[in-house]
A and B are shown apart, each in its own frame.
Chain A
């Protein structure tokens, strides 16, 4: 099971700012290990964020994203005290879902 994400969400003037830190190897599949063998690709392929059942962000990622990625985005209309849910899924089918309360 992958480590939890660190999510911070805060509302200001009706705009919610969300900061997400994900724990992931983000292996490109291009690198070779010490024995000269290719290290298999392992990276997050899709990221989505939902607020009250509505998708507020949907992203398709690839191997160009760094290890332990950091994502920051804004959306309109969130209320203080409500939850934002962030989900990622990687190319091995592994998933992680975490939530944060809007401050």
Chain B
């Protein structure tokens, strides 16, 4: 037998084995995915995110801070005090701050300008843990819940919005850190998962919509409600990148990129996740 013949036979066997393996993988994966979907559906009815939403609504209406005013004068994009549907259009450019802002950054802006908090005080606890609760997470929970069912419509009209989108796209594909990772390493291919979690392909419309419209979410494993700023912060940690600074230009750029890609889908959060 010639070497080339041996090689081709060997290749055939190898290809067959790969096919068997992938068929097996697909069935194992889909049943695990179905089970997770079933688990989520069971939990959806009693989503503890509602507890954060209730607290957030109170915080929005309460007179707080050195100036003792409520956040009802805060304009999060649709006019002062308008909450309904506002999240589905964020991030966007705000002329009074001359920058693109996401919801969390805008809330901090209002806490500083309206209520008179110092920036340090307003951002002291952006992510809560146990009894150290985060007001920002609660406010975000309530405001996002007021956009449930609203179709995502993040515009790129202003130059700074376009700039943010382009910077976000660059960041999404930027490889770095000790593992030479990029967001796209895990989120640019369909059918990938990490352990049993599906990884949405954020470069496709469907994946981008599924990924973006289900945050914020109550994380059962943490017993906390997590916002999109937290999601990005934790993605950076998982990539072993330098810590993503809360409300930083790059965090808003990435959010703009992902939110705009989700346009056209109905917003469906606060959700519940494992």
Contact = CB atoms under 8 A, between A and B. Distances in A.
Contacts of A45: none
Nearest to A68: B48
Contacts of A72: 45-46
Interface stretch (A18-26, A55-63, A73-81, A82-90): A18-26
Contacts of A19: 45-46
A3 interface: yes
Interface stretch (B49-57, B75-83, B180-188, B258-266): B49-57
> Mostly helix, strand, loop or mixed at chain B's interface?
loop
A21 B50 contact: yes
A3 B30 CA distance: 39
Contacts of B50: 6, 21
| Interface size bracket, B side | 10 to 19
B216 to A, nearest CB: 15
A23 B130 CA distance: 11
Contacts of B46: 19, 21, 70, 72
B39 to A, nearest CB: 13
Interface string B149-190: 000000000000000000000000000000000000000000
A67 interface: yes
Contacts of B31: none
Given A70-B46, A72-B46, A25 B130 contact: yes
Nearest to A42: B131
Interface of B: 43, 45-46, 48, 50-51, 54-55, 130-131, 220, 223
